Structure 1
């Protein structure tokens, strides 16, 4: 699939540690960098809790399914649990509570918001390890580990790219996913703090919230262009950037207004190819889902700690030249 072809990133810290692990029972699965150890404890059940509100979650889901296929050979199952299409701390809390009630041995979750640390700590206290992936709240929890991108650094990387594309001047529209999501805010501020400090001639329009919805991003870009016909760039920090790109195309502004965002999803890549999107930074969601599940399994059956409490993901920024 396109996701697999475009997963050009590696989790170097995980791969390096994996290579040094003794007596691994198998090779790492395709698309992952962590191998499973022998299961001497009997059946293991892992709950994988994730949202489903935009195409970003497709490779996350596929990674969880790949983990289930791989770990089934080791008497372990990874059950995907859909938290719905409205991101909130309450949905995460309810999902973890449900997993605890069903006596899962471990939990992989995308917590995203503040307000989730308490239930993660409760699960840990009950002896159920929790592995956070993709994004977590700012409040520290006692989760087993977190694997994901440094959101502030990723935002700065985007900011540097934006400044270059805009030649250090002009109007930049900003659309974030959820104002209450720590990762989205850090991505936004990572870019905007850099631009405000270094390129004061870039004027910020927004930010606006699209709740990860492409249709909302579409309407917001139309509104921004009506109020700011000289807008030259749009930065979408989270889900739905292809909606902004569609608005650029429908307004016949291809080549005049560019959209920058995250994730090498098929919709985004199509607009990168046709020129409405000018930059996409990936975060290896498939590998995050797969590796975290295997690392959690290894911890449950063998007490094998992940290589670090925070495992960084290095992203590749694709431009239209990469999509040709």
Structure 2
């Protein structure tokens, strides 16, 4: 990569040298033209004020013209500052192991269409279903070879910070979203995501209210190595200990963001613990737990508390198996992370904060119609 940049620098220097030699011959013609213009310009008569000439603006570039036509879509707050003078590319990484990523891709599609008018291409990179540190590290290393203006990614595990730091040191701007290493420094320009600890506390409040402080609570997480999932679990545990100290809180079960694994884990919990009152899901696939509650005939007796307003989850909010779902605005995660990289690339100015938080809210069976009016139950 360094050789490529060095060669590019030599080529730019050669072009500049050629341009400067051309400018030398052009200056004489320009001077003559100015002299002729001065001769034909009438001097103001005595007692009359001199006429002010208005500078004529040159024609706007094609990129600037297209950018002027682009409108900021509803729901998004961060706008592009200006069009890029040169075409640039931003790589956007995501996984595809549960419906949450469909909402990420919806935001990605919106920002891709918007920035097309600003001389920027956003390239989607599907990293598959294995959401671990090695996967993201391998992709960062590979994508860096393309020398993009920026990379946007969800690192999620400790150890990934070394690969991000290396990409930044090689001249690639990086923004992270959803979750990142606890050791991540400010080499990346920003992190975009929800407050996972606060989300866990919200889930704990819902659990305490539903159980009345009695019974057993099961926990199904995605990955014990994924920081966002662990922060949600910690926020939940700490708040629940404060609100309902008499509740029995079980050790977490990993389900790897899989609805099928979540279903199986939920069935095991329901079978093993007769006094089970709530299943708390920190990660993807909670509708698997909701289906298990329904299949076991426990609707109204056992409630699922989870994250994300994806249609698969909202379906079970409507029928009562999911008693509370916390949102994290994934569309804006995609939008704000890409926009932060773009604006930094064209202006050199970093975002106002290194941590940009997305909005979070709670939906219940009683508030579904109000908070998600467009949702139609199957």
Aligned equivalents of 2:86, 2:135: Cα separation in 1: 31
Tell whether the 8 Å contact from 1:137 to 1:183 is kept in structure 2 after alignment: no
Please tell me whether residue 56 in structure 1 is matched to residue 100 in structure 2.
yes
Please tell me whether residue 77 in structure 1 is matched to residue 77 in structure 2.
no
Show the counterpart of 1:289. 334
Please tell me whether residue 265 in structure 1 is matched to residue 310 in structure 2.
yes
Shift of 1:150: 1.5
Shift of 1:27: 4.3
Shift of 1:289: 0.2
Tell whether the 8 Å contact from 1:159 to 1:194 is kept in structure 2 after alignment: yes
Tell whether the 8 Å contact from 2:332 to 2:358 is kept in structure 1 after alignment: no
Show the counterpart of 1:156. 201
Please tell me whether residue 206 in structure 1 is matched to residue 251 in structure 2.
yes
Tell whether the 8 Å contact from 1:53 to 1:84 is kept in structure 2 after alignment: yes
Task: Give secondary structure in 2 for the equivalent of 1:311.
Answer: strand
Aligned equivalents of 1:314, 1:237: Cα separation in 2: 18
Show the counterpart of 1:304. 349
Aligned equivalents of 1:214, 1:303: Cα separation in 2: 43
Quick one: which of 135, 140, 143 aligns to 1:96? 140
Show the counterpart of 2:298. 253
Show the counterpart of 2:280. 235
Please give the TM-score of this superposition, normalised by the length of structure 1: 0.90
Show the counterpart of 2:363. 318
Show the counterpart of 1:114. 158
Aligned equivalents of 2:346, 2:72: Cα separation in 1: 17
The runs of 5 or more residues in structure 1 that have no matched partner are: 1-23
Aligned equivalents of 1:246, 1:233: Cα separation in 2: 14
Structure 2 CA distance for partners of 1:48 and 1:40, relative to 1, 3 Å: closer
Show the counterpart of 1:105. 149
Quick one: which of 152, 155, 179 aligns to 1:135? 179
Shift of 1:317: 0.4
Aligned equivalents of 2:245, 2:212: Cα separation in 1: 12
Show the counterpart of 2:265. 220
Aligned equivalents of 1:312, 1:40: Cα separation in 2: 26
Tell whether the 8 Å contact from 1:179 to 1:209 is kept in structure 2 after alignment: yes
Shift of 1:30: 3.2
Shift of 1:197: 3.7
* Higher relative contact order structure (alpha carbons within 8 Å, sequence separation ≥ 6): 1
Show the counterpart of 2:40. none
Could you say which structure has the higher strand fraction?
1
The runs of 5 or more residues in structure 2 that have no matched partner are: 1-66, 370-378
Show the counterpart of 1:123. 167
Tell whether the 8 Å contact from 2:208 to 2:243 is kept in structure 1 after alignment: no
Tell whether the 8 Å contact from 1:29 to 1:35 is kept in structure 2 after alignment: no
Shift of 1:59: 0.8
Which has more radius of gyration? Answer: 2
Show the counterpart of 1:181. 226
Tell whether the 8 Å contact from 2:84 to 2:119 is kept in structure 1 after alignment: no
Aligned equivalents of 1:205, 1:277: Cα separation in 2: 19
Task: Give secondary structure in 2 for the equivalent of 1:320.
Answer: coil
Aligned equivalents of 2:319, 2:252: Cα separation in 1: 26
Please tell me whether residue 277 in structure 1 is matched to residue 322 in structure 2.
yes
Structure 2 CA distance for partners of 1:295 and 1:29, relative to 1, 3 Å: farther
Shift of 1:55: 0.3
Tell whether the 8 Å contact from 1:46 to 1:108 is kept in structure 2 after alignment: yes
Aligned equivalents of 1:256, 1:226: Cα separation in 2: 14
Structure 2 CA distance for partners of 1:40 and 1:238, relative to 1, 3 Å: closer
Please give the TM-score of this superposition, normalised by the length of structure 2: 0.77
